[in-house]
Structure 1
Amino acid sequence: MKTLFRLMIYVRPSAKWVALAVSVMIMGTLIDLIAPWLLREIFDEGIAKRDMAVVLWLTLALAGVQAVKSAGMFAQGYSQELVGQNVVFRLRKELYAHLQRLSFSYYDRAQTGQLMSRMTGDIEAVKNFVGFGAMNLFAGMLTFLGTIIFMMSMQWKVTVISLVTIPFILFVLWRFNDKVGPAWSNIREQMGRLTTTLQENISGIRVVKSFATEKTEQQKFAERNEQNFETNMERAKLEAKAFPLMGFYGGLTFVLMIWIGAIFVVRGEMSLGTFMAFQWYTWGIIWPLNMLGWQINIMQQAIKAAPRVFEVLDTPVDVVSPSVGVPTTGMKGDVVFENVRFYFADQDPASDQPVLHDISFRVKQGEVVGVLGSTGSGKSSLIGLLSRFYDVSGGRVAIDGVDVREYELDGLRRSIGIVPQETFLFSASIRDNIAYGFPEATREQIEFAARKAQIHAFIEGLPDGYDTRIGERGVGLSGGQRQRVALARAILMDPPIHVLDEATASVDTATESAIHVALLEVMKGRTTFIIAQRLSSIQHADRIIVLEGGRLTEQGTHKELNEANGFFRQLFDRQKQIAHS
């Protein structure tokens, strides 16, 4: 019930359209109730008394009210759809906006396919109930009660006897409602898993083909598809049991009405016109109850789908901008890590080892710092704290003496130009990808950034130059080309702090050298963090810090670390041997 009340919040902005739909629906219901009464008058006052004028006028009246109802159905259908679409529009808008606000810790756990399923199928199920199911449920109840009232006013004895099968129909509906809810819950969950499997396969299709695992992936999808099929068939079995049984009891009601009505007509206790009207009214009893089964079906879909949407909307945002954030205008780039400790959201501080433990160092404006460490040493997590992709679990990270948690969040992130390890490009032109963070950039500014990233000559050689569209995730470009486009994107932002996370890992040594030479000018006066595995990537660093198991174990210049016998020296010796082999 709580879910339905919450959905009503999204209906409220469309209150006038709901009022219109309900008003037209009530009018249509009244017409449906009046029509059989007119039929009775045609038989009793017209045909029985051989008065064709009465027959003609009442027939015209019957046709007239049906015409009015048909016109009203247009307004009702349009307003119902508008209400449903408004709810969908608002829900999707809120959900998408909330997804943009959720921090990295949420996406570390969330499955893309599940989110896609909630954004599409689950919200569509909500729309079907709000725009169609709820109002038709109301119309059915109104028709059912109104029909009984009209019938009782005409001949209460026949009405009471004919309604003997109604409790059986209501019992079937109660049992159906009790079982179909869990069935739809399973279906929504299975659909989310199926969508996840599909999304992962499409996103990783190059890996699939590289390892020739198409059959394995087909089998995985087939299993999910079969589970979805079986879950839907379980739900269909419930419907197949309930709806025909309801139809059977409804048919009995109709047969009983004819039999009992005929007896009363023969006895003279019921007119032929009333008997004919009762045949019409019978459908006003049977139809709402049969339709109630379908409306329950639609309602249960929405009741099971809506919580999946609200679950995302109710997920708290771990990293939020302060209500009155410190502006980043004039930021210099003096960075301080003070006794920083960090755990991921799913870690238990009481038993798990921290990702980063007691990290402390200072970086002055314009200093280039190399960050070295083996896989899993915490390099990327360290930089993630700087941009507040995550918040520290202990200690603090400060820029220009201000805790990063006190800065206006968007301004903070725009002040840190990041080239991530996993390069992501959008399905758009190269120009749009480079200018993604600075869409108002001029052509000269875009080309300047591309030159510094050593990608300008390649772009100019393309058929459409900077207007060349690239495929999803940068398909059509090599790994090195994608990295250089991402590098140009960061350079164009002109931030006081640069972060290059394995930014040249996919380029050859000659290109890497050319990029670093070009970056020397860009990095002047800017604080730069270079996360790297290759020592050649940090050859121009003023200082190098080494992370091992989440701890800062070494810190110093290239010369100082080379003279020590730590991780840096061991890495230097290994890479030297590889270069000479």
Structure 2
Amino acid sequence: MKVLLRLMMYLRPSTKWVVISLTLLILGTLIDLIAPWLLKEVFDKGIAKENTKAILLFTLALAGIQVVKSFGMFVQGRSQELVGQNVVFTLRKQMYEHLQKLSFGYYDKAKTGQLMSRMTGDIEAVKNFIGFGSLTMVGGLLTFVGTIGFMVFMQWQVTLLSMATIPLLLFILYRFNKNVGPAWGQIREQMGRLTTTLQENISGIRVVKAFAREKAEQDKFESRNDQNFDTNMERAKLEAKAFPLMGFYGGLTFLIMIWLGAVYVAKDQMTLGTFMAFQWYTWGIIWPLNMLGWQINIMQQAIKAAPRVFEIIDTPVGISSPDDGGADPARITGNVIFEEVSFHFGDQDAASEAGVLQEINLGVREGEVVAVLGSTGSGKSSMIALLSRFYDVSRGRVLLDGVDVREYELEGLRRKIGIVPQETFLFSASIRENIAYGVPEATQEQIEWAAKKAQIHGFIESMPYGYDTLIGERGVGLSGGQRQRVALARAILMDPPILVLDEATASVDTATESAIHEELLEVMKGRTTFIIAQRLSSVKRADRIIVLDRGQIVQQGTHKELFEQDGFFRNLFEMQEAASVR
């Protein structure tokens, strides 16, 4: 009930159209109730009394109200669809906006296929109920009650006797509603899993083919598909049991009415016109109950789908700007301090487990170039992610120009930190749009300047459409190194006071890497820069090198100072030197 009440709240912006739909629905119901009475008058006052004027009058009245009803149904159908589309529009907008606000912590656990399933299929199920099912249920109820009222007024004995099977029909509807709800819940969940499997396979198709795992992936998809098929068949079995029985009892009601009505007409206790009207009215009892089975189906889909949508909308944002708007990020110049910083991921126990970072203390001056080294899992990327508040610290503080990053306005803060992430992502758009993603208003000259600094301008110029070349989904039209250089140009173009290069040249050859670093020397002047790298060639120009091990700073100093010490840096240097000799 809470889910339905919450869904009804989304009707508020469309109140005018809801009122129009309900008004026309009531009008249509009244017409349906009056039409059989007019038929009765045709027989009783026209045919029985051989009154051709009465026959013509009531026949024209029947035709007239049907014209009115047809026009009303047209307007009502459009109004209902508008209401449903408005609800879908609002839900999708809310859900998408909320997804944009959720932190990295949420996406670390979320499955893309499930999100896609909820954004499409689940919201569509809600629309079907709000835009069609709910008003149809109201119309059916009005028709059912109104029909019984008219029939009782005209001949109460036949009415009550004819309805002997209605309690059985209502019992079947009750059982059906009770059982079909859980079935639809399983179907919606399994559709999310099926979508996830499909999305993962398409996104990772190159890996699938590289490891010749097509058959295994096909088996996985077929398994999910079989589960979805079986669950749908279980739901269909419920319908197959309920709907024929409902049709049988509905037909039995009609037969009882025919038999009793004929008997009452023969005994002169019921007019022929009333008998003919009762045939019409009987369907006003049977069809609302039969349609209720389909409407219950639609309602249960919505009831099971809506919580999956609301689950996302109700997820706490976690990381957001301060309530008062926060400090102005325009003041950021690049002085960075990590003060007793510890960090745990959301699923870690901060009390008993060692954090990804533990008691980090580090001060970085404006314009200083700091390299961060460490083995895989040492906390390098996590440490830098705290700067942009992709995550919040578990303990301690990260300060930018003396202000805790949690006190800055969030969007402005992130615009002050240009990042080239370890996992390069490009959009299915032109190269120009990808480079200018953070600065959409950038001029062509600015875009080309950033591309030259990233050593990608020459390659772009050689392409058939230059900067207007479309690169395909996730940048599949480019090599790994080319994607990385486009991402580097994207970060450079933002002209931020803080630049983060997270393995920014890992996918390029050493010659290109050297050229990029030469160009970056100018870019990094006066700009606080963090370089996360495994190659020592990437960090040799750093003012200071930080070595992380198991979330702690174990070494720091210049290239020369660290080389003179035993430890990770010297071991890494010797390994890479030996590899280069080979």
Normalising by structure 1, we get a TM-score of 1.00
Deviations 1:361-381 (A, max 9, x none): 110011100000111111110
Partner of residue 443, structure 2: 442
Question: Which range moves more in the overlay, 324-333 or 499-508?
Answer: 324-333
Deviations 1:47-73 (A, max 9, x none): 011111111111111011011100000
Partners of 1:376 and 1:179 in 2: CA distance: 49
Instruction: Find the residue that maps to 1:454 and give its secondary structure.
Output: coil
Partners of 2:23 and 2:302 in 1: CA distance: 24
Q: How does 1:268-287 map to 2 (within 5 A)?
A: 268-287=268-287
Deviations 1:251-277 (A, max 9, x none): 000000000111111111000000000
Cα deviation, residue 9, structure 1: 1.3
Partner of residue 372, structure 2: 371
Equivalent residue letter for 1:424: F
Instruction: Find the residue that maps to 1:77 and give its secondary structure.
Output: helix
Q: How does 1:15-414 map to 2 (within 5 A)?
A: 15-323=15-323, 324-414=325-415
Partners of 2:74 and 2:68 in 1: CA distance: 10
Partner of residue 416, structure 1: 417
Question: Which range moves more in the overlay, 397-406 or 321-330?
Answer: 321-330
Partner of residue 580, structure 1: 581
Cα deviation, residue 351, structure 1: 2.4
Cα deviation, residue 386, structure 1: 0.5
Deviations 1:262-313 (A, max 9, x none): 1111111000000000000000000000001111110000000000000000
Equivalent residue letter for 1:333: G
Partners of 1:349 and 1:404 in 2: CA distance: 21
Partners of 1:281 and 1:458 in 2: CA distance: 77
Equivalent residue letter for 1:476: G
> How many percent identity over aligned positions?
74
Partners of 1:68 and 1:458 in 2: CA distance: 68
Partners of 2:444 and 2:326 in 1: CA distance: 33
Q: How does 1:550-569 map to 2 (within 5 A)?
A: 550-569=551-570
Which 5+ residue runs of structure 2 have no aligned equivalent? Answer: none
Partners of 1:103 and 1:90 in 2: CA distance: 22
Partners of 1:186 and 1:329 in 2: CA distance: 50
Equivalent residue letter for 2:114: Q
Cα deviation, residue 475, structure 1: 1.1
Partner of residue 461, structure 2: 460
Deviations 1:497-531 (A, max 9, x none): 00000000000000000000000000000000000
Partner of residue 428, structure 1: 429
Instruction: Find the residue that maps to 1:109 and give its secondary structure.
Output: coil
Partners of 1:330 and 1:386 in 2: CA distance: 15
Equivalent residue letter for 1:516: H
Equivalent residue letter for 1:547: L
Partners of 1:563 and 1:387 in 2: CA distance: 34
Instruction: Find the residue that maps to 1:370 and give its secondary structure.
Output: strand
Equivalent residue letter for 1:243: F
Partner of residue 493, structure 2: 492
Q: How does 1:515-554 map to 2 (within 5 A)?
A: 515-554=516-555
Equivalent residue letter for 1:378: G
Cα deviation, residue 535, structure 1: 0.8
Partners of 2:372 and 2:312 in 1: CA distance: 36
Equivalent residue letter for 1:194: L
Instruction: Find the residue that maps to 2:441 and give its secondary structure.
Output: coil
Partners of 2:282 and 2:528 in 1: CA distance: 81
Equivalent residue letter for 2:9: I
Cα deviation, residue 349, structure 1: 1.4
Partners of 1:9 and 1:546 in 2: CA distance: 55
Equivalent residue letter for 2:94: E
Across the aligned residues of Structure 1 and Structure 2, the Cα RMSD in angstroms comes to 0.6
Partners of 1:533 and 1:208 in 2: CA distance: 28
Partner of residue 509, structure 1: 510
Partners of 1:6 and 1:22 in 2: CA distance: 20
Runs of 4+ residues over 2 Å off in structure 1: none
Equivalent residue letter for 1:430: I
Cα deviation, residue 331, structure 1: 1.7
Partner of residue 476, structure 2: 475
Cα deviation, residue 350, structure 1: 2.4
Which 5+ residue runs of structure 1 have no aligned equivalent? Answer: none
Equivalent residue letter for 1:314: D
Q: How does 1:4-15 map to 2 (within 5 A)?
A: 4-15=4-15
Cα deviation, residue 330, structure 1: 3.6
Partners of 2:235 and 2:342 in 1: CA distance: 50
Question: Which range moves more in the overlay, 446-455 or 349-358?
Answer: 349-358
Partners of 1:42 and 1:314 in 2: CA distance: 60
Instruction: Find the residue that maps to 1:506 and give its secondary structure.
Output: coil
Question: Which range moves more in the overlay, 570-579 or 122-131?
Answer: 570-579
Equivalent residue letter for 2:269: E
Equivalent residue letter for 2:7: L
Partners of 1:311 and 1:328 in 2: CA distance: 33
Cα deviation, residue 177, structure 1: 0.4
Partners of 2:409 and 2:350 in 1: CA distance: 28
Partners of 1:88 and 1:165 in 2: CA distance: 39
Instruction: Find the residue that maps to 2:244 and give its secondary structure.
Output: helix
Equivalent residue letter for 2:204: G
Equivalent residue letter for 1:297: N
Instruction: Find the residue that maps to 1:329 and give its secondary structure.
Output: helix
Partners of 2:350 and 2:386 in 1: CA distance: 18
Normalising by structure 2, we get a TM-score of 0.99
Partners of 2:61 and 2:352 in 1: CA distance: 81
Partners of 2:223 and 2:375 in 1: CA distance: 38
**What is the total number of aligned residue pairs between the two structures?**
581
